[in-house]
A = this chain, B = another copy of it.
């Protein structure tokens, strides 16, 4: 009998098929022709039937379906280790987003993907599910590496590194889908980033696009408790219900994270056959929590495992991720029988394929499926000894005692991508050189920024116009509270634009006084009845010194940069890491006057704390030139004479200096 010729025979391996019966063949062979698995089974049978041009002996190795990395942002390999041990907002708004705005583009995404693919192939991953920018470049690199991928082009309601608005992103995404949808390795997808970065209109456009081309829709869902809280307070409903309102689940959804779900949300996801991508490392590292994976699995949901981006992990190692998934369910939900090894290996392979909606192609070793698999050494020191009593101990060995570096060979779509740990499709030396070059540029950018408080402030301020303003001002301590209207009326000057407010200032002080200091101010503006009318927050960078002193001791204070503060005080504290902090609290009455066609602001301040009981009067005006400053100093001198305020003393420092000196 003539043997049938195939391209590759993997012989004498321990086959872990992950098929519907979870078949195991302790001495098995896989036959591959073109990009398909054509047969598998006991080695004796297969070797009698097939011959191949390439025969790979897999003795002492497991042959498993390749791992499915169900959620990642692959180009972020280039941001690995850039900033760690930070709170989510500081990490994201302080580091990731400013650097992405500056550096992310086609070349970044291309090189980052090549680096990520090299790492993933080395750790037995054959398919990944991405969400990032410039996905056409991610696709180009993925195909070059020879990997399979579900690639989601990110859509955001605000400008992103590859689009100035979501219409542009949607148009890009449509072109991307049209270009790549027939590629044997690439499954394009639409990726509205998250409910909280989407508008209903944007979401509906994404669903329309995904259903028109029948491609998956990849989205972050309920990653943090805060996201759920905000959803309920803003929209009156939980995250998944809100998404359901806009028919999101008409598309084939891949929901990443799902850490904080209510029971009815889990049922909704199940009802619509949405896939879930569990990212245990990232959820721990960013302190988001732990998804109830066993519960989701018990409900019948398809859950895959993902590394998330390498900036929050900090690697793409699916072996670590899989092991952690099992450990974490047991430890966090208090039951060591949760997520046993067999179930966990299924999540990393066939369930992952189901979760990202491509189990018709990959995820298990079965005739007719694409040849996506890895050959994993099973006789290294840290894996031994092995016990043969329970055939299912092989899953335990894979999940609990095997490392990414035990992966020996990787095949995707019938093509050998790694053989004896040597990458066959990628030139790692070149990729690393390019990656290091980009890292040097990011380093330079951040070093410059971190060395300068203004640059750090600029990096996180979207509405900030970096304009220096100078003020000319005088500050007097009064013996008692006065009525400003009365005092100025008596001097023949009308006051206008009155306001009253409580001001809570926190000053950040730095090692080098020349660096200036930052003021975080909470302004509680009161109406005429003394009720809270409005609260606003500003962040001001103040120059350290007084520039000049005029007659009558009018002072010219130096540069100030002010922006509205849309983050919390805690955020700024962790972002700027001040050496010390100082609080100043005061009641301020403010009005404006016009004197000789020049506008002056008048503040009557009553500080709390050490300065309690004191009353200060400030007269100030902005100025732009030396000549203008001189004129305004003269005018302030005239004003002081004119209304003859009886002052105890003149103050040449800021309130914060009074407190700091005390």
Give me the interface of A with B, judged by CB distance under 8 Å.
77-78, 80-82, 84-88, 91, 115, 118-119, 122-123, 281, 283-290, 313-317, 320, 323-324, 326-328, 330-338, 340-341, 379, 381-389, 393, 396-397, 400-401, 403-405, 428, 432, 435-436, 438-440, 442-443, 446-447, 450, 574
Shortest Cβ distance from A386 into chain B, in angstroms?
7
Shortest Cβ distance from A447 into chain B, in angstroms?
5
Assess the B401–A315 pair: CB atoms within 8 A.
yes
Contact of A281 among B78, B327, B440 (CB under 8 A): B327
Q: In the complex, what distance in Å separates the CA atom of A389 from the CA atom of B87?
A: 19
Say yes or no: A341-B84 contact (C-beta < 8 A), given A389-B446, A403-B404, A447-B389.
yes
What are the residues of chain B within 8 A of A443 when measuring CB–CB?
387-389
Assess the A330–B86 pair: CB atoms within 8 A.
no
Assess the B331–A284 pair: CB atoms within 8 A.
yes
Residue picked from A288, A435, A443, most chain B C-beta under 10 Å: A443
Shortest Cβ distance from A343 into chain B, in angstroms?
9
Assess the B316–A284 pair: CB atoms within 8 A.
no
Assess the B436–A382 pair: CB atoms within 8 A.
no
Assess the B435–A84 pair: CB atoms within 8 A.
no
Chain A to chain B contacts (Cβ below 8 Å), 5 pairs: A85-B337, A85-B340, A287-B336, A288-B331, A379-B432
Residue of B whose beta carbon sits closest to that of A122:
B381
Assess the A78–B385 pair: CB atoms within 8 A.
yes
Q: In the complex, what distance in Å separates the CA atom of A439 from the CA atom of B385?
A: 6
What are the residues of chain B within 8 A of A337 when measuring CB–CB?
85-87, 574
Residue of B whose beta carbon sits closest to that of A324:
B324
> Nearest 6 pairs between A and B by C-beta?
A284-B331, A385-B439, A85-B340, A284-B327, A314-B400, A405-B405
Assess the B432–A81 pair: CB atoms within 8 A.
no
Assess the A122–B385 pair: CB atoms within 8 A.
no
Contact of A432 among B84, B285, B384 (CB under 8 A): B384
Assess the B331–A287 pair: CB atoms within 8 A.
yes
List 9 additional contacts besides A290-B331, A403-B405; criterion CB under 8 Å. Answer: A80-B383, A84-B400, A85-B340, A88-B336, A119-B382, A285-B327, A332-B332, A385-B432, A385-B435
Assess the B403–A403 pair: CB atoms within 8 A.
yes
A interface SS class: helix
Assess the A87–B336 pair: CB atoms within 8 A.
yes
Assess the A81–B396 pair: CB atoms within 8 A.
yes
Assess the A331–B285 pair: CB atoms within 8 A.
yes
What are the residues of chain B within 8 A of A386 when measuring CB–CB?
81, 436, 439
Say yes or no: A385-B438 contact (C-beta < 8 A), given A313-B400, A331-B287, A396-B84.
yes
Shortest Cβ distance from A208 into chain B, in angstroms?
37
Q: In the complex, what distance in Å separates the CA atom of A381 from the CA atom of B77?
A: 10
Contact of A381 among B283, B320, B384, B428 (CB under 8 A): B428
Shortest Cβ distance from A4 into chain B, in angstroms?
37
What are the residues of chain B within 8 A of A387 when measuring CB–CB?
81-82, 439, 442-443, 446
Assess the B317–A320 pair: CB atoms within 8 A.
no
What are the residues of chain B within 8 A of A281 when measuring CB–CB?
327
Assess the A334–B287 pair: CB atoms within 8 A.
yes
Say yes or no: A436-B385 contact (C-beta < 8 A), given A341-B85, A404-B403.
yes
Residue of B whose beta carbon sits closest to that of A401:
B314
Q: In the complex, what distance in Å separates the CA atom of A565 from the CA atom of B236?
A: 54
Assess the A336–B286 pair: CB atoms within 8 A.
yes
What are the residues of chain B within 8 A of A323 when measuring CB–CB?
320
Assess the B396–A85 pair: CB atoms within 8 A.
yes
What are the residues of chain B within 8 A of A384 when measuring CB–CB?
77, 80, 115, 432, 435-436, 439
What are the residues of chain B within 8 A of A82 when measuring CB–CB?
387
What are the residues of chain B within 8 A of A313 when measuring CB–CB?
400
Assess the B330–A285 pair: CB atoms within 8 A.
yes
Assess the B81–A400 pair: CB atoms within 8 A.
yes
What are the residues of chain B within 8 A of A290 when measuring CB–CB?
331
What are the residues of chain B within 8 A of A332 when measuring CB–CB?
284, 332
Shortest Cβ distance from A366 into chain B, in angstroms?
26
Residue of B whose beta carbon sits closest to that of A435:
B385
Residue of B whose beta carbon sits closest to that of A393:
B81
What are the residues of chain B within 8 A of A115 when measuring CB–CB?
381, 384-385
What are the residues of chain B within 8 A of A396 when measuring CB–CB?
81, 84-85, 314
Shortest Cβ distance from A295 into chain B, in angstroms?
15
Assess the B287–A382 pair: CB atoms within 8 A.
no
What are the residues of chain B within 8 A of A91 when measuring CB–CB?
336
Residue of B whose beta carbon sits closest to that of A78:
B385
Contact of A382 among B85, B122, B283 (CB under 8 A): B122
Q: In the complex, what distance in Å separates the CA atom of A91 from the CA atom of B517?
A: 60
Shortest Cβ distance from A122 into chain B, in angstroms?
6
What are the residues of chain B within 8 A of A401 when measuring CB–CB?
80-81, 314-315
Residue picked from A77, A118, A332, most chain B C-beta under 10 Å: A332
Q: In the complex, what distance in Å separates the CA atom of A81 from the CA atom of B383?
A: 9
Shortest Cβ distance from A531 into chain B, in angstroms?
36
Residue of B whose beta carbon sits closest to that of A88:
B336
What are the residues of chain B within 8 A of A436 when measuring CB–CB?
384-386
Shortest Cβ distance from A146 into chain B, in angstroms?
16
Residue of B whose beta carbon sits closest to that of A388:
B443
Shortest Cβ distance from A54 into chain B, in angstroms?
26
Contact of A320 among B287, B320, B393 (CB under 8 A): B320
Assess the B328–A284 pair: CB atoms within 8 A.
yes
Shortest Cβ distance from A548 into chain B, in angstroms?
37
What are the residues of chain B within 8 A of A385 when measuring CB–CB?
77-78, 80, 115, 432, 435-436, 438-439
